């Protein structure tokens, strides 16, 4: 298969993985009655400020921050999938290794910018915070690896 197709397959697989991540996070919110994280919106606000863009105040500003924060999450997930497609190519990494690697990559890609902006310090997180972050990222990794494998497997011969 071509490198271009592998990148497209990585992005498509990551779209499914990002959906799985969101489902896991929303399920956690529903079960534990925890609020949505404000960090993505805070990151969007911080980055917009650094770019000289005012997102506004009041309800409109809050809505922009939340929307842009969610879009940053999608961009992260899709980018990790594209990079995976580029790097994996036609190789067939063991499914568990691929899933764990994708989970870790997505978690690092999502959390590192938040820590770099000074919005969070993972070193200070408790067990429930780590679980709330790790479990959805595991759903991402498992789904992305499975869909990528399915999209790039060689055709069956009859």
Instruction: Give the distance from CA 69 to its chain's centroid.
Output: 12
Alpha-carbon span 146 to 96, nearest angstrom:
10
Q: pLDDT, tens digit, for every residue of 95-140?
A: 899 999 999 999 999 999 999 999 999 999 999 889 889 999 999 9
For residue 154, give the 3-state DSSP assignment.
Answer: coil
What is residue 158's predicted lDDT score, i.e. its pLDDT? 60
| pLDDT average, residue stretch 10-21 | 98
- Token representation of residue 94: 């063991």
Confidence (pTM): 0.91
Summary mean pLDDT of the chain: 93
């Amino acid at each position: 298969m071509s490198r271009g197709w592998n990148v497209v397959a990585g992005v498509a697989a990551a779209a499914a993985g990002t959906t799985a991540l969101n489902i896991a996070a929303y399920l956690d919110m529903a079960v534990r009655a925890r609020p949505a994280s404000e960090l993505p919106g805070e990151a969007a606000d911080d980055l917009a400020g650094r770019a000289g863009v005012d997102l506004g105040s009041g309800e409109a500003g809050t809505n922009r921050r939340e929307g842009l924060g969610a879009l940053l999450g999608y961009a992260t997930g899709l980018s990790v999938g594209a990079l995976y497609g580029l790097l994996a190519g036609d190789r067939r990494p063991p499914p568990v290794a691929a899933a764990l690697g994708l989970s870790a990559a997505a978690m690092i890609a999502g959390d590192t910018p938040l820590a770099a902006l000074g919005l969070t310090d993972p070193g200070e997180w408790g067990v429930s915070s780590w679980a709330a972050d790790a479990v959805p990222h595991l759903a991402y990794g498992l789904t992305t690896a499975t869909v990528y494998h399915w999209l790039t497997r060689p055709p069956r011969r009859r």
